[in-house]
Amino acid sequence: MIRYERFFKLEANEEKSRLMMNAFGFLMHEKEKGISGYYNLPIDGENLLKEINSYIIQEDEVYQNAENIVVIGIGGSSLGAKAIDSMLRHKYNNLKKLLFLENPDPVSISKTLNRIKKHNSIFVVISKSGGTIETTSIFKTVLKEFDMDLKSEDAKRVLIISDEGSPLCKFADFYGIKAFTIPKNVGGRFSVLSSVGIVPLSLAGYDMRNVLKGAKHMIKRFFNSKEEHIAIKALYYCKNYQKTPINVLFSYADFLEDFTKWFIQLWAESLGKIDKDGKNVGLTPVAHIGSIDQHSFLQLIMQGPRDKTVTFIKVEDFENDLKIPDISLKYIEKTDYINNHTFNELINAECDATKESLVKEGIPVDTITLDKVNEENVGELIAYFELLTSYAGAIFDINTYDQPGVEFGKKILVKKFKGN
Ligand code: PA5
């Protein structure tokens, strides 16, 4: 269960009601016409899980011997799986390792390659477009490092995840490598609940059925108009984007750090656009971990420019009863008030205290409280942020799903290697 609370007001008026109705209608249209396909991923997931299961049965030996599932992908092709892995890993005992080869950083690539062997790894190459330079370069490096011959049995330890008909899918077809496709109408950063996230996470051993279930319920409730808080928050953010252009996500759990990176990509790449009137619009995501960043960034929020909103994510029950021991230390007795309390109590009280202090300052704050971390809550949280992003995009009247701005740099990069 997740609770959503808002500590700021959106004064209702006719214009706002009209904007909200239009945006809701727009999202409904996107869903029904298949303009954006992520709304249906939790339903389509059942077939995908069957396909993954057939692969596991067919490649039983390779699968049983694999200790590492190595994801080769970047951006929307890696951040979602990484986020879910970080959030849920501590709840499982028998998972395969999930490793990510994302950045063309020679030090981290070498470090990861040194940790694995060919015979105990499955390499999952993920790229929606099927030609991303970082991903293909790292894949080539893996093939060379492990002396892999794709015309041999080695092909069985490679999986491709890409759009149907993409260069990578054609490559898979050529070598008879198993390929899972991504629906064409699902954009990279909205693809975590497609094969992009479901395949590597299922292979690692996660129960993805319940993640999909959590997302499905959220999307269903949203389209049944039962999650109005999403609309109100999106509208508040968009209406005030010049006054409060920075949205801080303050998550009180270390295992949420990768989730906040996934959120940053989703929010920034989807909403930073040129609108239909030629105006640059967007909202700037910033992510922090509590209580660590109370000792750094919080000062700026409290007393710096009033240009931020803050969303707290809190986990009510960490299912861990580690306590602060009842020890009184000479000269630091003033900290004894916390003795015998759990760390779970401490971190949440810190979250509440920070929230209260910001609310008192009149800073727009909302909280998202997970009763605990489990698969369903993770699925719901993902769907919540995706819907919030789509809603904000509809209010801005932009294309939420493209990213023309990043293409310019890619063209310059090609010129740097190939010349004009
Ligand atoms: O959201 C997006 O579409 C992008 O950020 C992509 O995920 C990223 O560029 C990786 O692209 P690809 O999956 O095509 O390799």
Ligand 1, residue 189: give the atom nearest the CA.
1
H-helix or E-strand spanning residue 64 = helix 60-65
Q: Are strands 365-372 and 308-317 parallel, antiparallel or unpaired?
A: parallel
CA within 13 Å, CB half, 113: 19
Q: Contacts for 265-268 with beta carbons within 8 Å, 24 or more apart? A: 265/75, 265/76, 265/79, 265/189, 266/189, 266/190, 266/385, 266/386, 266/389, 267/385, 267/389
Q: Dihedral sign, CA of 18, 20, 23, 28?
A: negative
Which helix (H) or strand (E) is 32 found in, with range?
Answer: helix 14-32
The active-site residue, picked from 269, 375, 376, 386, is: 269
Which residue is closest in CA terms to ligand 1's atom 2? Answer: 188
- Give 98 Cα–ligand 1 centroid separation in angstroms: 20
Tell me which residue of 192, 184, 182, 178 sits closest to 76, measured CA to CA.
192
Residue nearest to atom 3 of ligand 1 (CA): 188
For residue 192, the model assigns a pLDDT of 98
Verify whether residue 416 is a known catalytic residue: no
Cα 76 to middle of ligand 1, angstroms:
5
CA of 53 to the centre of ligand 1 (A): 26
Spell out the residues 6+ positions from residue 63 whose beta carbon is closer than 8 angstroms to its own: 55, 56, 122, 203
Catalytic residue among 33, 144, 151, 295: 295
Of all protein residues, the one whose alpha carbon is nearest to atom 9 of ligand 1 is 75
User: Which residues contact ligand 1 via a Cβ below 6 A?
Assistant: 74-77, 127-129, 132, 135, 187-189, 269, 403
Distance 155 CA to ligand 1 centre (A): 24
Strand partners, 162: 181
All domains of the chain, ordered by start, with CATH?
2-32+211-404 (3.40.50.10490), 36-206 (3.40.50.10490)
CA distances from 39 to 146, 284, 293, 341 (A): 39, 24, 34, 42
Query: Hey, what amino acid is at 108?
Result: S
Q: Closest ligand 1 atom, CA of 187?
A: 3
Could you list the pLDDT tens digit for every one of the 420 residues in the chain? Answer: 999 999 999 888 998 899 999 999 999 999 999 999 999 999 999 999 999 999 999 999 999 999 999 999 999 999 999 999 999 999 999 999 999 999 999 999 999 999 999 999 999 999 999 999 999 999 999 999 999 999 999 999 999 999 999 999 999 999 999 999 999 999 999 999 999 999 999 999 999 999 999 999 999 999 999 999 999 999 999 999 999 999 999 999 999 999 999 999 999 999 999 999 999 999 999 999 999 999 999 999 999 999 999 999 999 999 999 999 999 999 999 999 999 999 999 999 999 999 999 999 999 999 999 999 999 999 999 999 999 999 999 999 999 999 999 988 999 999 999 887
Q: Ligand 1 center to residue 106 CA distance, Å?
A: 21
Residue 410 falls in the annotated catalytic set: yes
Helix (H) / strand (E) containing 3:
strand 2-6
Helix (H, G, I), strand (E, B) or coil at 229: helix
